[in-house]
C-alpha cells in the first residue's frame, strides 16, 4: 500500500490528516512541500491537484485534497471499525456537521493569525471577537457530551483539536 501525503508541518489542516491517519492506523509516506518557495505551484504538482492546496493525498493514483475529505476517505477505506466516523445516519450527520463547523473555525482563526504571521501586523479586534465566538460555540458542544459530536472520539474531534491547538 502506498499512501502519500503532500504536506507542511505548520498547517493545522495537515496536522488534522496526520492525527487522523495515526488514529485510523494508516502509515503515510510524507512528502514535504516548500510552500514559501512555491513548490505547490510547480506543474508536476498542479497536474494532480489543480487548486493547488495542501494537504493532498495520493493513494495508488487516487488523489484527494481538502483535509476533511481526506480524513473521511481514509476512515472509509482503511478504518477497522466505525467509531471515528459512525455509519448510523444521525450520528454521522452530527460528525459531518462538526466537520463543517471546523471549516468555519479554521476561517476565523486564519483571519486572526494570518496578518500576524505573514505581515507582522495585528488582527482587527472584531476578527478576534469572531474567533472567540467560534471557541464559545465549540464549548457548547462539550457542555452536552464528552466529545464534540457525542460520547466517543470522532474525526470531528481530531479536526477541531488541531484548530484550537
Query: Catalytic positions, please?
Result: 11
Checking DSSP bridges between strand 62-65 and strand 3-7, what pairing results, if any?
unpaired
Q: In 10 A of CB 39, how many CB atoms?
A: 17
Return the closest-CA partner of residue 17 out of 40, 41, 8. Answer: 8
Give the span between the Cα atoms of 156 and 24, in whole angstroms: 13
Amino acid at each position: 500500500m502506498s499512501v502519500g501525503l503532500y504536506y507542511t508541518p505548520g498547517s493545522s489542516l495537515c496536522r488534522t490528516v496526520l492525527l487522523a491517519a495515526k488514529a485510523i492506523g494508516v502509515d503515510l509516506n510524507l512528502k514535504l512541500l516548500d510552500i514559501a518557495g512555491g513548490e505547490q505551484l510547480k506543474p508536476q504538482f498542479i497536474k494532480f491537484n489543480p487548486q493547488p492546496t495542501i494537504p493532498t493525498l495520493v493513494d495508488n493514483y487516487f488523489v484527494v485534497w481538502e483535509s476533511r475529505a481526506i480524513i473521511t476517505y481514509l476512515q472509509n477505506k482503511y478504518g477497522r471499525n466505525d467509531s471515528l466516523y459512525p455509519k448510523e445516519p444521525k450520528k454521522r450527520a452530527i460528525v459531518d456537521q462538526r466537520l463543517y463547523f471546523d471549516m468555519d473555525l479554521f476561517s476565523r482563526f486564519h483571519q486572526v493569525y494570518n496578518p500576524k504571521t505573514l505581515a507582522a501586523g495585528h488582527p482587527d479586534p472584531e476578527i478576534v471577537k469572531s474567533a472567540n465566538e467560534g471557541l464559545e460555540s465549540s464549548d457548547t458542544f462539550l457542555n452536552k457530551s464528552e466529545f464534540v459530536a457525542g460520547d466517543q472520539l470522532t474525526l470531528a474531534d481530531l479536526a477541531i483539536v488541531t484548530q484550537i491547538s
